[in-house]
Structures are given as structure tokens and as C-alpha cells.
Amino acid sequence: DIQMTQSPSSLSTSVGDRVTITCRSSQNISRYLNWYQQKPGKAPKLLIYAASNLQSGVPSRFSGSGSGTDFTLTISSLQPEDFASYYCQHSYSFPCTFGQGTKLEIK
């Protein structure tokens, strides 16, 4: 099975900061990588699919990049509503595992 490792696990940040979250897969997954946002008590929300494609309705401050085994999610200027947890997930094969998550906290 493919393992997904995110870093950092948590991050203290401020409104307006540029934030980068990293996701690494245990083997080459090309661009089969998705990113999700989850707020406490809510279902996850799809942000990015196929490594760099913005899901409809997602603000343009979110962007994704990478291919192979190394991927990043970038938030260009953090907004108050962006304080949440973020998960990567590969869709290369089954099981389509998630990373362990990255929690953005207010500094």
C-alpha cells in the first residue's frame, strides 16, 4: 500500500501569511494527488484534484503543485476562514490513503 506523509503536523500561523504544506508518497503516484480542507465538526471539502487543479468554487489563494512523490499545497495569503485541517490523499490505486493531516492554528 502507498503511504502518505504530511508535514508539518501542525502550524501556528497568522492572517496574511503564506503557508505551504508538504505531502510525500511512498512511491511514484504521478499527479494522482488530492487536497482536502476540514473544519471542526464538519465534513471535508475538496480543494485541489490531480495535484494542481482547483476545484470549482475554491478561492484562487489555494494552489497545488508537484508530481511523482513530492507535493505541496500553498495558501498565498491566509484568511481567517482558512484555519482548519488539511489532508492529502492519493488516487493512484486502492487503498487511496490519506495523509495524517496538517492543522493550521492561529498564532
Partner 1 sequence: QEQLAESGGGVVQPGRSLRLSCAASGFIFGSYGMHWVRQAPGKGLEWVAVIWYDGSKKYYSDSVRGRFTISRDNSKNTLDLQMNSLGAGDTAVYYCARDQYFGLPPMGGRSWNAVDVWGQGTKVTVSS
Binding-site member from 13, 53, 65, 69 for partner 1 (CB under 8 A): 53
Among residues 11 and 46, whose Cβ is nearest to partner 1? Answer: 46
E-strand spans in 14-84? 19-25, 33-38, 45-49, 53-54, 62-67, 70-75
How much is the CA Rg of the chain, to the nearest whole Å?
A: 13
69 near partner 1, rule: CB under 8 A: no
Cα–Cα dist 19/17, whole Å: 6
Piece of the chain touching partner 1 by CB under 8 A; list 20-28, 58-66, 71-79, 84-92: 84-92
Q: Which of residues 22-41 bind partner 1 (CB under 8 A)?
A: 30-32, 34, 36, 38
